[in-house]
Structure 1
Protein backbone atom coordinates (compact mmCIF):
# COMPACT_ATOMS: atom_id res chain seq x y z
CA UNK A 1 0.00 0.00 0.00
CA UNK A 2 1.42 3.38 -0.95
CA UNK A 3 2.12 6.14 1.58
CA UNK A 4 -1.16 7.90 0.68
CA UNK A 5 -3.14 4.74 1.24
CA UNK A 6 -1.27 4.19 4.52
CA UNK A 7 -2.49 7.63 5.59
CA UNK A 8 -6.02 6.50 4.73
CA UNK A 9 -5.47 3.40 6.86
CA UNK A 10 -4.30 5.48 9.83
CA UNK A 11 -7.03 8.11 9.47
CA UNK A 12 -9.79 5.53 9.06
CA UNK A 13 -8.59 3.73 12.20
CA UNK A 14 -8.50 6.99 14.17
CA UNK A 15 -11.96 7.82 12.84
CA UNK A 16 -13.28 4.43 14.00
CA UNK A 17 -11.98 5.19 17.50
CA UNK A 18 -13.82 8.54 17.43
CA UNK A 19 -17.01 6.81 16.24
CA UNK A 20 -16.76 4.32 19.11
CA UNK A 21 -16.24 7.11 21.64
CA UNK A 22 -19.18 9.06 20.23
CA UNK A 23 -21.30 5.89 20.40
CA UNK A 24 -20.33 5.47 24.07
CA UNK A 25 -21.24 9.09 24.80
CA UNK A 26 -24.56 8.86 22.97
CA UNK A 27 -25.64 5.64 24.65
CA UNK A 28 -24.34 6.33 28.16
CA UNK A 29 -25.05 10.06 28.49
CA UNK A 30 -27.74 10.88 25.93
CA UNK A 31 -29.49 7.48 26.10
CA UNK A 32 -29.75 7.36 22.30
CA UNK A 33 -29.47 3.83 20.93
CA UNK A 34 -30.75 3.69 17.34
CA UNK A 35 -28.87 6.38 15.42
CA UNK A 36 -25.74 5.81 17.47
CA UNK A 37 -25.69 2.10 16.56
CA UNK A 38 -25.95 2.98 12.87
CA UNK A 39 -23.11 5.47 13.28
CA UNK A 40 -21.01 2.85 15.07
CA UNK A 41 -21.51 0.30 12.30
CA UNK A 42 -20.79 2.58 9.36
CA UNK A 43 -18.04 4.55 11.13
CA UNK A 44 -16.05 1.45 12.04
CA UNK A 45 -16.68 -0.29 8.71
CA UNK A 46 -14.61 2.30 6.84
CA UNK A 47 -11.33 1.25 8.43
CA UNK A 48 -12.17 -2.45 8.17
CA UNK A 49 -12.78 -2.07 4.44
CA UNK A 50 -9.56 -0.11 3.97
CA UNK A 51 -7.75 -2.98 5.70
CA UNK A 52 -9.49 -5.47 3.40
CA UNK A 53 -8.42 -3.40 0.40
CA UNK A 54 -4.80 -3.80 1.50
CA UNK A 55 -5.15 -7.50 0.81
CA UNK A 56 -7.08 -7.17 -2.43
CA UNK A 57 -6.53 -9.85 -5.02
CA UNK A 58 -6.43 -7.36 -7.88
CA UNK A 59 -6.63 -3.66 -8.63
CA UNK A 60 -10.33 -4.08 -9.46
CA UNK A 61 -10.90 -5.78 -6.11
CA UNK A 62 -8.97 -2.96 -4.39
CA UNK A 63 -11.14 -0.33 -6.09
CA UNK A 64 -14.29 -2.26 -5.20
CA UNK A 65 -13.39 -2.45 -1.51
CA UNK A 66 -12.45 1.23 -1.36
CA UNK A 67 -15.74 2.00 -3.12
CA UNK A 68 -17.64 0.27 -0.34
CA UNK A 69 -15.56 2.17 2.24
CA UNK A 70 -16.51 5.39 0.45
CA UNK A 71 -20.21 4.50 0.71
CA UNK A 72 -19.85 3.70 4.41
CA UNK A 73 -18.11 7.04 4.95
CA UNK A 74 -20.91 8.90 3.20
CA UNK A 75 -23.48 6.98 5.25
CA UNK A 76 -21.62 7.95 8.42
CA UNK A 77 -21.91 11.60 7.44
CA UNK A 78 -25.66 11.09 7.04
CA UNK A 79 -25.98 9.69 10.59
CA UNK A 80 -23.88 12.57 11.94
CA UNK A 81 -26.17 15.07 10.22
CA UNK A 82 -29.22 13.38 11.76
CA UNK A 83 -27.64 13.41 15.21
CA UNK A 84 -26.94 17.13 14.85
CA UNK A 85 -30.40 18.00 13.55
CA UNK A 86 -32.06 16.07 16.37
CA UNK A 87 -29.77 17.82 18.87
CA UNK A 88 -28.06 14.70 20.21
CA UNK A 89 -24.76 16.41 19.36
CA UNK A 90 -24.09 20.13 19.30
CA UNK A 91 -22.62 22.18 16.45
CA UNK A 92 -19.08 22.02 17.82
CA UNK A 93 -19.17 18.24 18.27
CA UNK A 94 -20.66 17.83 14.82
CA UNK A 95 -18.16 20.09 13.04
CA UNK A 96 -15.17 18.32 14.50
CA UNK A 97 -16.10 14.76 13.53
CA UNK A 98 -17.90 15.77 10.32
CA UNK A 99 -14.79 17.56 9.05
CA UNK A 100 -12.77 14.43 9.72
CA UNK A 101 -15.34 12.27 7.90
CA UNK A 102 -15.36 14.59 4.89
CA UNK A 103 -11.57 14.60 4.75
CA UNK A 104 -11.59 10.80 4.80
CA UNK A 105 -14.26 10.72 2.09
CA UNK A 106 -12.15 12.95 -0.16
CA UNK A 107 -9.09 10.76 0.41
CA UNK A 108 -11.03 7.62 -0.47
CA UNK A 109 -12.42 9.22 -3.64
CA UNK A 110 -8.96 10.36 -4.65
CA UNK A 111 -7.48 6.89 -4.09
CA UNK A 112 -10.26 5.32 -6.17
CA UNK A 113 -9.78 7.79 -9.03
CA UNK A 114 -6.01 7.27 -9.02
CA UNK A 115 -6.40 3.49 -8.94
CA UNK A 116 -8.86 3.56 -11.84
CA UNK A 117 -6.36 5.54 -13.91
CA UNK A 118 -3.75 2.86 -13.23
CA UNK A 119 -5.93 -0.01 -14.48
Structure 2
Protein backbone atom coordinates (compact mmCIF):
# COMPACT_ATOMS: atom_id res chain seq x y z
CA UNK A 1 0.00 0.00 0.00
CA UNK A 2 1.39 3.41 -0.92
CA UNK A 3 0.13 6.56 0.77
CA UNK A 4 0.86 9.83 -0.98
CA UNK A 5 1.02 13.17 0.77
CA UNK A 6 1.71 11.61 4.16
CA UNK A 7 5.14 13.16 4.57
CA UNK A 8 7.25 15.76 2.82
CA UNK A 9 5.80 17.10 -0.42
CA UNK A 10 6.15 14.48 -3.14
CA UNK A 11 7.33 11.79 -0.71
CA UNK A 12 5.66 8.38 -0.74
CA UNK A 13 5.35 6.13 2.30
CA UNK A 14 5.15 2.37 2.07
CA UNK A 15 3.29 0.23 4.57
CA UNK A 16 4.72 -3.23 5.15
CA UNK A 17 2.53 -6.30 5.07
CA UNK A 18 3.19 -6.79 8.80
CA UNK A 19 1.21 -3.63 9.53
CA UNK A 20 -1.94 -4.88 7.81
CA UNK A 21 -4.14 -6.96 10.06
CA UNK A 22 -5.83 -10.00 8.63
CA UNK A 23 -8.71 -11.87 10.16
CA UNK A 24 -8.95 -15.61 10.53
CA UNK A 25 -12.05 -15.74 12.71
CA UNK A 26 -15.39 -14.02 12.87
CA UNK A 27 -16.79 -14.48 16.36
CA UNK A 28 -15.34 -15.64 19.64
CA UNK A 29 -17.27 -15.82 22.92
CA UNK A 30 -15.17 -15.59 26.06
CA UNK A 31 -16.03 -15.55 29.77
CA UNK A 32 -14.19 -14.77 32.96
CA UNK A 33 -16.13 -14.94 36.22
CA UNK A 34 -19.52 -13.40 35.74
CA UNK A 35 -18.47 -11.30 32.71
CA UNK A 36 -19.07 -12.62 29.22
CA UNK A 37 -17.28 -11.03 26.29
CA UNK A 38 -18.69 -11.50 22.82
CA UNK A 39 -16.12 -10.30 20.33
CA UNK A 40 -16.93 -9.82 16.67
CA UNK A 41 -14.24 -9.12 14.12
CA UNK A 42 -15.04 -7.72 10.72
CA UNK A 43 -12.77 -6.25 8.06
CA UNK A 44 -13.06 -2.55 7.45
CA UNK A 45 -10.83 -1.50 4.54
CA UNK A 46 -7.26 -1.92 5.85
CA UNK A 47 -8.01 -2.17 9.55
CA UNK A 48 -9.91 -4.36 11.97
CA UNK A 49 -12.99 -3.32 13.92
CA UNK A 50 -13.50 -5.06 17.24
CA UNK A 51 -16.80 -4.69 19.02
CA UNK A 52 -16.85 -5.94 22.60
CA UNK A 53 -20.22 -6.55 24.21
CA UNK A 54 -20.26 -7.17 27.94
CA UNK A 55 -23.02 -9.06 29.67
CA UNK A 56 -23.28 -10.22 33.26
CA UNK A 57 -24.39 -13.75 33.99
CA UNK A 58 -23.64 -14.99 37.49
CA UNK A 59 -24.70 -18.54 36.68
CA UNK A 60 -21.80 -19.12 34.26
CA UNK A 61 -18.46 -20.41 35.40
CA UNK A 62 -15.34 -18.83 33.88
CA UNK A 63 -14.30 -20.26 30.52
CA UNK A 64 -11.73 -19.36 27.94
CA UNK A 65 -13.55 -20.32 24.78
CA UNK A 66 -11.24 -19.93 21.82
CA UNK A 67 -11.97 -21.57 18.53
CA UNK A 68 -9.22 -23.32 16.63
CA UNK A 69 -7.31 -21.00 14.37
CA UNK A 70 -7.31 -18.30 17.05
CA UNK A 71 -5.51 -15.06 16.53
CA UNK A 72 -2.77 -14.42 19.14
CA UNK A 73 -3.44 -10.68 19.06
CA UNK A 74 -7.10 -11.31 19.86
CA UNK A 75 -6.16 -13.71 22.64
CA UNK A 76 -3.85 -11.09 24.18
CA UNK A 77 -6.62 -8.49 23.89
CA UNK A 78 -9.04 -10.72 25.76
CA UNK A 79 -6.38 -11.53 28.37
CA UNK A 80 -5.74 -7.80 28.94
CA UNK A 81 -9.48 -7.10 29.18
CA UNK A 82 -9.92 -9.80 31.81
CA UNK A 83 -6.93 -8.48 33.79
CA UNK A 84 -8.58 -5.03 33.82
CA UNK A 85 -11.87 -6.56 34.98
CA UNK A 86 -10.12 -8.54 37.70
CA UNK A 87 -8.13 -5.57 39.04
CA UNK A 88 -11.23 -3.36 39.12
CA UNK A 89 -12.89 -5.86 41.46
CA UNK A 90 -9.96 -6.28 43.83
CA UNK A 91 -10.01 -5.42 47.53
CA UNK A 92 -9.45 -1.71 48.18
CA UNK A 93 -6.62 -1.90 50.71
CA UNK A 94 -2.98 -0.91 50.70
CA UNK A 95 -1.90 -4.40 49.58
CA UNK A 96 -4.85 -4.75 47.19
CA UNK A 97 -4.09 -1.44 45.49
CA UNK A 98 -0.39 -2.28 45.17
CA UNK A 99 -0.98 -5.74 43.68
CA UNK A 100 -3.77 -4.42 41.43
CA UNK A 101 -1.52 -1.67 40.05
CA UNK A 102 1.37 -4.06 39.39
CA UNK A 103 -0.92 -6.68 37.84
CA UNK A 104 -2.61 -4.05 35.69
CA UNK A 105 0.75 -2.84 34.35
CA UNK A 106 2.25 -6.25 33.64
CA UNK A 107 -1.00 -7.93 32.54
CA UNK A 108 -1.96 -5.36 29.92
CA UNK A 109 1.58 -4.83 28.60
CA UNK A 110 1.91 -7.94 26.38
CA UNK A 111 -0.94 -6.80 24.10
CA UNK A 112 0.67 -3.53 22.88
CA UNK A 113 4.17 -5.03 22.99
CA UNK A 114 3.00 -7.81 20.66
CA UNK A 115 1.86 -5.06 18.28
CA UNK A 116 5.35 -3.57 18.48
CA UNK A 117 6.83 -6.98 17.65
CA UNK A 118 4.59 -7.25 14.59
CA UNK A 119 6.09 -4.01 13.29
CA UNK A 120 9.69 -4.95 14.12
CA UNK A 121 12.34 -3.66 11.76
CA UNK A 122 14.55 -6.75 11.89
CA UNK A 123 14.56 -10.30 13.20
CA UNK A 124 16.76 -9.18 16.11
CA UNK A 125 14.26 -6.42 16.96
CA UNK A 126 11.39 -8.91 16.65
CA UNK A 127 13.03 -11.32 19.10
CA UNK A 128 13.80 -8.52 21.55
CA UNK A 129 10.19 -7.34 21.55
CA UNK A 130 8.86 -10.88 21.95
CA UNK A 131 11.17 -11.25 24.96
CA UNK A 132 9.61 -8.12 26.49
CA UNK A 133 6.17 -9.73 26.08
CA UNK A 134 7.46 -12.93 27.68
CA UNK A 135 8.98 -11.02 30.60
CA UNK A 136 5.70 -9.21 31.28
CA UNK A 137 3.70 -12.44 31.05
CA UNK A 138 6.01 -14.11 33.56
CA UNK A 139 5.58 -11.19 35.93
CA UNK A 140 1.80 -11.36 35.50
CA UNK A 141 1.86 -15.10 36.21
CA UNK A 142 3.69 -14.43 39.48
CA UNK A 143 1.25 -11.71 40.58
CA UNK A 144 -1.67 -14.00 39.77
CA UNK A 145 -0.11 -16.79 41.82
CA UNK A 146 0.17 -14.36 44.73
CA UNK A 147 -3.52 -13.48 44.30
CA UNK A 148 -4.31 -17.19 44.40
CA UNK A 149 -2.62 -17.45 47.83
CA UNK A 150 -3.80 -14.13 49.34
CA UNK A 151 -7.54 -13.41 48.97
CA UNK A 152 -7.34 -9.90 47.52
CA UNK A 153 -9.59 -10.65 44.53
CA UNK A 154 -13.29 -11.45 44.80
CA UNK A 155 -13.35 -13.86 41.86
CA UNK A 156 -10.96 -16.69 42.80
CA UNK A 157 -12.08 -18.85 39.89
CA UNK A 158 -11.14 -16.10 37.42
CA UNK A 159 -7.71 -15.87 39.07
CA UNK A 160 -7.16 -19.62 38.51
CA UNK A 161 -8.27 -19.31 34.88
CA UNK A 162 -5.96 -16.35 34.33
CA UNK A 163 -3.06 -18.29 35.85
CA UNK A 164 -3.73 -21.08 33.36
CA UNK A 165 -4.06 -18.68 30.44
CA UNK A 166 -0.89 -16.76 31.36
CA UNK A 167 0.97 -20.08 31.55
CA UNK A 168 -0.26 -21.00 28.06
CA UNK A 169 0.74 -17.59 26.70
CA UNK A 170 4.20 -17.96 28.28
CA UNK A 171 4.59 -21.30 26.49
CA UNK A 172 3.47 -19.78 23.18
CA UNK A 173 5.90 -16.86 23.42
CA UNK A 174 8.77 -19.11 24.58
CA UNK A 175 8.24 -21.37 21.56
CA UNK A 176 8.01 -18.36 19.22
CA UNK A 177 11.28 -16.96 20.56
CA UNK A 178 13.04 -20.33 20.16
CA UNK A 179 11.77 -20.62 16.58
CA UNK A 180 12.85 -17.07 15.73
CA UNK A 181 16.28 -17.60 17.29
CA UNK A 182 16.76 -20.77 15.19
CA UNK A 183 16.00 -18.74 12.06
CA UNK A 184 18.41 -16.06 13.19
CA UNK A 185 21.18 -18.35 13.28
Q: TM-score, normalised by structure 2?
A: 0.58
Match of 1:105 in 2: 170
Indicate the structure with greater strand content: 2
1-structure distance, mates of 2:112, 2:180: 19
- Structure label with greater radius of gyration: 2
Is the 1:8–1:107 Cα contact (8 Å) retained in structure 2? no
Is the 1:8–1:108 Cα contact (8 Å) retained in structure 2? no
From 139, 147, 150, the equivalent of 1:75 is: 139
Match of 1:53 in 2: 117
Gaps of 5+ in 1: none
Match of 2:130 in 1: 66
Is the 1:42–1:73 Cα contact (8 Å) retained in structure 2? yes
1-structure distance, mates of 2:103, 2:175: 23
Does 2:157 correspond to 1:92?
yes
Q: What's the CA shift for 1:82?
A: 1.1
From 41, 49, 56, the equivalent of 2:105 is: 41
Residues 22-41 of structure 1 mapped to structure 2, 5 A cutoff: 22-26=86-90, 30-31=91-92, 32-41=96-105
Q: What's the CA shift for 1:91?
A: 4.7
Choose between structure 1 and 2 for higher RCO, CA contacts under 8 A separated by at least 6 residues: 1
Indicate the structure with greater helix content: 1
Paired residue secondary structure (1:88) = coil
Q: What's the CA shift for 1:83?
A: 1.3
Does 2:180 correspond to 1:115?
yes
2-structure distance, mates of 1:7, 1:58: 22
2-structure distance, mates of 1:100, 1:56: 25
Paired residue secondary structure (1:33) = helix
State the Cα RMSD in Å: 1.9
Q: TM-score, normalised by structure 1?
A: 0.87
